[in-house]
Amino acid sequence: MVDVLEGHRVLAFDLETTGISTNNDRIVQVALIGADADGAPIHHDILVNPQRPIPRDASRIHGVHDSDVRGKPIFKECANELSELMNGAVIVGHNARRFDMPLLQNEFYRCGISPPKPLVVLDTLEAVRRLKIPRPHNLGAQCARHGIDLSNAHDAAADAAACLLLLWKVMRDHPSSFRRSLQEIEEWLISGEVRKDESELGRALTDLESLDNNGRIRIDEGAYIVAFGRHRGKDLQSIEREDPRYVDWLISANGIEDEAAREILRQLVSSIRNG
C-alpha cells in the first residue's frame, strides 16, 4: 500500500474560506501537511488576508475572523511558495477535486499566475464513496468511523492531517483497490474505471504524433489530445465544453511553451467559439 506513494511528495491539502462558492469566495487559511519525496516532513499552514470581510457564518465554522487575517499576506504573496510545494506532488484532500482545488485555481487565475500542477489528486471523499463505505461521508463522520481524532475540525491543518490519516486507513483496509499506479488510482476515484491508453482503446498517447516540442499535445486523426494534467486523454473540443478557463490557460504563454503549437490551438479555439 505504501509503495505507490514512496518516492513522491505527498501533501494533505485543505482550505478555509469566506464561503462555499469556488468562483467567488476567497481563501483565509491554507494548509499543506505531509512529507517530501525523501521523507522530510512538510507543515505549511498560513492565514491569508482575503481582502474582504469574512462572513460571520464562515467564521463560526472555521474560527478565523477579520482580526486574525488583518496584516496577513494576500494570496498573491503566497502563490509562488504554494506552487513550489504542490507542483508534481500527490495531493490528498476530502472533496478537494470539486471544492479546494477549483477555488485555489481561481485564486491563481485572479493573480494572473498559472495554477500548480499536482501529479495526481487523491480525494478521500471519492474514495469512501467508490468503496461504498457507509454514510455519512463527511470528513468528521469518516474520521469517527476510522478511529481518527478530529477534535479541531474545520481548522485547515487539523483537517488536512486527518485526511491524510484517513487515506492511509482506507488504503490499508482495501489494499486490492490501490494496487495500481497513482494515475490509475486517480482515474478509478473519478470514474470507477481505469483509462487504458492501449489495447481496446487504440494507441497509447505516446504513440501519437506530437504537436508541440514537449509532447504535451498529441494529434489523433485530426483531433488535438491533451497528454498531461487533469484533462489527460481528452480532446481540445471536449475540454472547451467542460472547462473553457483551462483552455484559456492552455493557449496562453503560461500554458503550452511551444509558440507555434499555441497559435494552432488558438486558431482552433477561435473557430470553436465563433461557431
Contact 100, 14 (CB under 8 A): yes
Question: Residue 21: is its pLDDT beyond 80?
Answer: yes
Residue 15: the pLDDT is: 97
208 and 184 co-located in one domain: no
Contact 25, 100 (CB under 8 A): no
207 and 93 co-located in one domain: no
74 and 135 co-located in one domain: yes
225 and 165 co-located in one domain: no
Contact 109, 126 (CB under 8 A): no
User: What span, in angstroms and rounded, lies between the C-alpha atoms of 102 and 169?
Assistant: 26
56 and 172 co-located in one domain: yes
Q: Which three cell numbers stand for residue 116?
A: 500548480
Q: What average pLDDT does this structure show over 119-140? A: 96
pTM: 0.71
- Which residue, chain included where needed, has cell 482515474? 187
CA distances from 15 to 59, 234, 257 (A): 13, 29, 30
Q: Which domain holds residue 236?
A: 199-273
Min mean pLDDT across 101-105, 195-199, 223-227 is at 195-199
Q: Which three cell numbers stand for residue 233?
A: 486523454
Residue 194: the pLDDT is: 57
Residues contacting 57, CB < 8 A, separation 6+:
none
User: What span, in angstroms and rounded, lies between the C-alpha atoms of 194 and 223?
Assistant: 22
What's the number of domains the chain is made of? 2
Pick the more confident residue, 191 or 118: 118
134 and 230 co-located in one domain: no
| Helical residues (DSSP H) of 98-181, grouped into ranges | 101-111, 124-130, 139-145, 156-173
205 and 182 co-located in one domain: no
Q: Which three cell numbers stand for residue 99?
A: 471544492
18 and 118 co-located in one domain: yes
102 and 238 co-located in one domain: no
Question: Residue 131: is its pLDDT beyond 90?
Answer: yes
Domain boundary among 143, 161, 191: 191
92 and 144 co-located in one domain: yes
Task: Read off φ and ψ for residue 43, nearest 5 degrees.
Answer: -140, 95
Question: Residue 2: is its pLDDT beyond 70?
Answer: no
Whole-number average pLDDT of the chain = 91
pLDDT above 70 as % of the chain: 95
Q: What average pLDDT does this structure show over 42-61? A: 97
Domain boundary among 191, 212, 239: 191
115 and 7 co-located in one domain: yes
Q: How many residues does the chain have?
A: 275
Min mean pLDDT across 21-30, 49-58, 230-239, 255-264 is at 230-239
Confidence tier at 199 by pLDDT (50, 70, 90):
very low
Question: Residue 181: is its pLDDT beyond 90?
Answer: no
Domain CATH for 25 = 3.30.420.10
